[in-house]
Structure 1
């Protein structure tokens, strides 16, 4: 038997055991769904290959319109989550994706972008680049939901709040320090930001220290903040204020009507929306558990969802009352090692050379020990796939397809651990650290759908197979909000964590891997910082040069492994057959005010 065959056999045995354990805690219907016996016919009808694997390339990201949109109607959007949303409902303060899923319905950026992630002139504002200065002109008919115009002062105010020393969000970083005078303002050395000039009510000029290739593809901050509402609220209190939590305001196609904290938000249409009055009268966003999402779709309880659990797709690919859309996600799952702390006063990452996970061999070995191909195929049926570098294929110009990352190789993992002095001193089958002391690695992983626990247990078992004792923090999975609160706070009980990161439209990796508060691993190096800086230098306006720089950076991260990617992701979204004018992903040219339904009631599955 070959090494590959043996690994797949061992994975299959482990998978059966883990899924059996997971099923013990569920009800009978969930257990039957997991092993329905209908996979062969389902796969044949829905495009799976002979091995039962699907490909995201076979999906469209735009809904097929069947019929004409009626005037008015309502629409229900399912926010798929096993936990309540936090409710920080403002682009300038939010930190979690569930909140962003809600904000998108009532607020939006001033600029839009095309399928290549370059800003266009089609948004609520236009822009012009002259030297190092970008001049924004907000359209005359762009108004806040209370009727007040969106102004240049509002846009300047957003920058002033994010740059303020009392700001408690995660936005302040290199995109802001690149603005002339921002650092002096942030340090309290100036009362205003010298690089920001309000020219008139609708025009503002912002001057940057450096004009980089990222500037017009994502690194501009494009979200104003309603000054007439927030100016009397202390900056330190803004994120928890009623203006963010209870009565959020925007200038998007829908207005917030009612919030049930953590559960749902109801919107009514903004008749004064600058793109034109929306087709729909009402939209409801409600939290839907991953375990009930199929029932909600079948019954018409939701018209679509934020994302469909890809592990549930094979058994539901032929759901008759919906059309499945698909797209490569601008995100990936990864394992991050805690290697230092964040110094909030200095605003910098502080690596700890004595951190438990500081040994590079240990980190490399933990990557080699896991079979992400098997995880992708067995849990996600090809709709997620093995990740190799920290720049995902959603940005094909910069993802290095030739870099294999660190492949599954148990022998290599053991060799690396032996070389670094991680040996089983007491004969219990588990390795001690190089000083001969007990080694227990504390692993933080989030709760989620049916596969969250089996996957976490698979990784733990894989590391145990090379002699590493890894345990879940507090002995259980963490819910979303608690997980990120503890990771961001550098909880000393966390040594390694399984996270997910959306890369945004700008590929510049500095926000996650540079000297940034969002660099949760708290690792950096001179070489990494040099390459990240070169990736946004004047020379990087040459595409080939920028590609070479980011290829070198991806190679460095495969060597140093402050984190390693596990899976690249696809987005699979079912949409009720009554829905028209809907798309997912970027550059579709379809906007939410165009969204409509062909009949009052959702179509239900028979």
Structure 2
């Protein structure tokens, strides 16, 4: 499923007045993926982690309930996926459990390794896997993780709708205390062998620890907020709400007790992280802003690790609402942004190449499709996105009946004053400048655009508006981290809560279904299905990809055995070679 929802906005001012396509994006840099420290480790040192954010974390420390990437960052040393994966996101047998598929029987068999235990010493059981599905599917949890994709599991919808007290498609052949679970599907899907496919969970929940908490109170309970339980290498031993987490080694960890006994992770603002690195306060800095990369790229005592990211920045055009009762997106044909020419004109007006070249050289490139290049098999490199073209933008608006008045601003096709409200987020050194640059670019084509609430929005406030479809925005800029299986079903389908633009189309339903159809068990068919979906989405332009990203992580030279390679979990092996 979606790993997280997060925005690390970056912004800048663009001085271009060009009316034609801008130059190509800067080629992204390559970085090392792991530390090379060969010194001997010391005992008793504490690993200090900075999670860079300008807002307090929510603190929903449960894999079935959390929504944003910052909570995920804080869970990372303690939480661990059930399944191991390769660097290409394929499942292997190196995780806490194995998974095997039977296409004829339409099943997946999960077997937990015998020595896998929760951090309180209790074994991870079949019931813990089944209970994770109960949490996601129970209406009272109101989690965004209940999606149309998961409803491919037999009986999950019936449980969600209150028609059944159990989930028929989650079988425990050796009983609740056994270590085997068989999932029964309505259809086998081509992405099943890939982590993050969204059709089944990759987590377990400690039933013995959470069972006494009503589902409605689970997300706010002490068991989730203050003393969460995981089977990963560390225990979240002390949580200061919104600010920091202290970790101690999990003595029951199935791979053996981790080598470093204590960790701390703290929220550090974008304005203070560079000075913190220069003063060597942190060993690892996660979620680093890249708009000020030049200020820390050569900081003494650190190595910069980096990789092509699964996340991208995008602009969404708001055209409907989420119907929580029915579990579907509902499109409003009268929505202000429900005009293809208006959406395309706004996209052609932006000078994204100049922004990326000037402020993120080598770290970001202009988005051209909604499948980033990291997914080489499925990314359609023939698509060119919406390069700057003021002339074309003006013609689109003229032809669609958006007429300019004496003040230089356009009316809508009905002759009424047109004001477009733009929701964007505070964060990073240049967030304000980039939002103002967008507004100035849109002014060049006669569109009056104003910031929602008259200012950039704090992270939590922004997502409260987007998730609840408030009436004070028409266009928004956000970003998210994609699943490692690129099916767009959980982000853009009619049943996807994360489809924040709220667009719905019969044509789109068919295109998105084809990507995950049984026909797409054939690799060539699936590639063609991905290409067809990307082409349609870019033409309709309900969502415009703005930036592909390279994720960079400064790591202190005293850190040993740390890697950011996809498919790796370094936390039980990481060590320190100098004292605090």
TM interval, shorter chain, is over 0.9
Q: Does 1:441 align with 2:420?
A: yes
Secondary structure of the corresponding residue to residue 521 of structure 1:
coil
Name which of 84, 102, 110 aligns with 2:74. Answer: 102
Match of 1:209 in 2: 186
Q: Could you tell me how far 1:308 is from its partner in structure 2?
A: 2.0
Name which of 152, 159, 164 aligns with 1:185. Answer: 159
Say if 2:28 and 2:361, in contact at 8 Å, map to a contact too: no
Partner Cα separation in structure 2 for residue 581 and residue 279 of structure 1: 10
Partner Cα separation in structure 1 for residue 141 and residue 92 of structure 2: 30
Q: Does 1:301 align with 2:281?
A: yes
Offset from partner CA, 1:282-325 (integer Å, 9 cap, x none): 11010011111111111111111113221222233221210011
Partner Cα separation in structure 2 for residue 418 and residue 549 of structure 1: 34
Q: Could you tell me how far 1:147 is from its partner in structure 2?
A: 1.2
Q: Could you tell me how far 1:155 is from its partner in structure 2?
A: 0.5
Partner Cα separation in structure 1 for residue 131 and residue 30 of structure 2: 45
Of 442-451 and 65-74, more deviation after overlay is shown by: 65-74
Say if 2:46 and 2:261, in contact at 8 Å, map to a contact too: yes
Q: Normalization by structure 2: what TM-score?
A: 0.93
Partner Cα separation in structure 1 for residue 208 and residue 14 of structure 2: 59
Correspondence list, 1:151-300, <5 A: 151-200=125-174, 201-217=178-194, 218-219=196-197, 220-300=200-280
Partner Cα separation in structure 2 for residue 528 and residue 63 of structure 1: 44
Q: Give the number of the structure with larger relative contact order, counting CA–CA contacts within 8 Å between residues 6 or more apart.
A: 2
Partner Cα separation in structure 1 for residue 465 and residue 14 of structure 2: 31
Runs of 4+ in 1 over 6 A off after TM superposition: none
Correspondence list, 1:344-363, <5 A: 344-363=324-343
Q: Could you tell me how far 1:432 is from its partner in structure 2?
A: 0.9
For structure 2, the residue ranges without an aligned partner over 5 or more in a row are: 1-12, 18-22
Q: Could you tell me how far 1:544 is from its partner in structure 2?
A: 1.8
Match of 1:453 in 2: 432
Partner Cα separation in structure 1 for residue 454 and residue 188 of structure 2: 48
Provide the alpha-carbon RMSD of the alignment.
1.5
Partner Cα separation in structure 2 for residue 85 and residue 557 of structure 1: 33
Partner Cα separation in structure 2 for residue 343 and residue 309 of structure 1: 35
Secondary structure of the corresponding residue to residue 149 of structure 2:
helix
**Cα pair distance change 1:304/1:54, threshold 3 Å:** farther
Match of 1:329 in 2: 309
Say if 2:318 and 2:500, in contact at 8 Å, map to a contact too: yes
Q: Could you tell me how far 1:142 is from its partner in structure 2?
A: 0.9
Partner Cα separation in structure 2 for residue 349 and residue 55 of structure 1: 37
Q: Does 1:501 align with 2:480?
A: yes
Match of 1:11 in 2: 14
Q: Does 1:125 align with 2:125?
A: no
Say if 2:16 and 2:351, in contact at 8 Å, map to a contact too: no
Secondary structure of the corresponding residue to residue 499 of structure 1:
strand
Match of 2:461 in 1: 482
Partner Cα separation in structure 2 for residue 296 and residue 600 of structure 1: 18
Match of 1:520 in 2: 500
Match of 2:387 in 1: 407
**Cα pair distance change 1:488/1:552, threshold 3 Å:** same
Secondary structure of the corresponding residue to residue 206 of structure 1:
strand
Q: Could you tell me how far 1:501 is from its partner in structure 2?
A: 1.4
Partner Cα separation in structure 1 for residue 539 and residue 554 of structure 2: 39
- Number of residues of Structure 1 aligned to a counterpart in Structure 2: 553
Q: Normalization by structure 1: what TM-score?
A: 0.89
Of 355-364 and 123-132, more deviation after overlay is shown by: 123-132
Match of 1:5 in 2: none
Offset from partner CA, 1:319-355 (integer Å, 9 cap, x none): 1210011111101000001110111111111011000
Partner Cα separation in structure 2 for residue 354 and residue 227 of structure 1: 47
Secondary structure of the corresponding residue to residue 325 of structure 2:
coil
